[in-house]
Amino acid sequence: MTGKEVVRAIRLARPARVAWLLMVAVLCALSFVPSVAMDVQPDVYQFPNCVAKGTAANFPAFTSIRGSYDNSDGGDALQAASVVARADVQTISPASVIEFTLAYPQEARVRASIPSYCLQAGGGSGGSTHEITYRRNGDGAIWITAPNYDRLVRIGSDTRITFYPLPVGSGPHGIVFDEMGRLWVSLECAGEIVRLDEHENISAEYDVALHCSTCSRAINSFPHGLGVGSDGKTIWYTGQRTGTVGKITPDGIVKTYALPTVGSVPIYIRAGPDGNMWATELVGNAIARITPDGAVTEFPIPTYNSRPIAIVPAPDGKAMWFTEEAGNKLGRIDMRGEIVEFAVPKSQDNVILAALSFDDEGNLWVEQYVDQNNPGTAGPSGSNHIVKIDKAILHTAPLDMGKVPVTLYPVPTRATVLHRIIQGPDGNIWFTELTADKVGKLIRR
């Protein structure tokens, strides 16, 4: 589907949408400054053995399979299922957590050139440490994007931190390596996706805006998340503010596909074991399946306004798993589109979820943090946690969630926003702290 066809489809779906989209077109000037490298000695935190006691409200047993009950208010609906799965005591194992503070160059903190509507959550002064990945069979380095600072960050296996500048006002966000080890980054504010060479210089640029003959200017799709197709060569992206997904073929052709739900706000996109791409729709409250040729099917999530964030393939090759930020649940969707949900134990009532990742043993790791915009009964204080859910969840029914071992690891920094999480090349769990401008490493025992 061409850009013109996508725009026409959007107009047919809802004419008012075009007016909403026109405000997001931006053309930013290109400017480079030398990269900066620093040796950083990270702070190391060691947590002793401790026990966290909770109630059924803190560790709910909840399942929602297409239309079953909702206990989001923490009320009596919980009683029906808590007999089997209640977890009154949760043990927290000792863990060593290292936090790397990213001291971005001062010039990167001056954001006068970037439009206010393009600033990512947290703002220039409130932190902007986002996506995280690494090159398979590479040198063991971790890579991070910092949209509000127009920077890529590399943390070497020797803990040396290097900042690489990108075009001013471009807003780098999504980041992936293809099967050839080439680095791709989405420049959300510039409406482009770029490929970098071995020296981290831009070697190829792809315009992923929507173009039409009757538009006064191209419509920035705001390419947000990136994923590599099952062929290892095709680069897929989510058009966050246009309700689209798209791909860059191995021969450099850009194709765009409109999602059926208007204003869906697609976030994450990953290849599934079935050869299709799977994406989360934050506002659409659905999971989208996209075939290699662009046919889209949406699967609604049972929990209302769950705000799905991240999605990853299961190690057993049978399903995709995703996080529900507001629902505080994990979702499992099989290749037919059937969804089941699992409640994640809460450390307090006002926590929400970010991303998730499986480790090489099949255990599931999830970010859970205190929502600073929702004081709740516990207030904005309290620890954020990395939650380890035993691999038994892969073969467990939602009502039996209480039988699955769950471990909470406190994150030293409070009042931050946990954002993305992966198992790194060293086998440890790495995660980003968006508003604190930190990267954490949880050393597995």
Query: Quick one: pLDDT at residue 373?
Result: 86
pLDDT, average across residues 327-332: 96
CA distance 338 to 333: 5
List, for residues 372-428, the tens digit of each pLDDT value.
888 777 777 888 999 999 999 999 999 999 899 999 999 999 888 999 999 999 999
Query: Quick one: pLDDT at residue 175?
Result: 98
Query: Quick one: pLDDT at residue 309?
Result: 97
Q: What percent of the chain has pLDDT over 70?
A: 74
Q: Are 339 and 331 in contact (CB under 8 A)?
A: yes
Gyration radius (Cα) of the chain, Å: 21
Which of 375, 405, 407 lies closest to 392, judged by CA? Answer: 405
Query: Quick one: pLDDT at residue 3?
Result: 53
Check pLDDT > 60 for residue 75: no
Indicate the residue type of 317. G
Q: Domain residue spans in the chain?
A: 3-34+49-116+186-419
Check pLDDT > 90 for residue 141: yes
Neighbours of 30 (CB within 10 A): 11
Which has more pLDDT, 213 or 445?
A: 213
Indicate the residue type of 121. A
Check pLDDT > 80 for residue 28: no
Check pLDDT > 50 for residue 84: no
Q: Is 273 exposed, middle or buried (0-12, 13-18, 19+ CB in 10 A)?
A: middle
Check pLDDT > 50 for residue 312: yes
pLDDT, average across residues 200-207: 97
Superfamily of domain 3-34+49-116+186-419 in CATH is YVTN repeat-like/Quinoprotein amine dehydrogenase (2.130.10.10)
Q: Is 85 left (phi over 0), alpha (psi -120 to 50) or beta?
A: alpha
Check pLDDT > 90 for residue 90: no
The model's pTM is 0.80
CA distance 354 to 352: 7
Q: Over the chain, what is the mean pLDDT?
A: 80
- Burial string for 205-222 (b: 16+ CB within 10 Å, else e) reads ebebbbebeebeebbbbb
Query: Quick one: pLDDT at residue 394?
Result: 97
Query: Quick one: pLDDT at residue 35?
Result: 34
List, for residues 263-307, the tens digit of each pLDDT value.
999 999 999 999 999 999 999 999 999 999 999 999 999 999 999
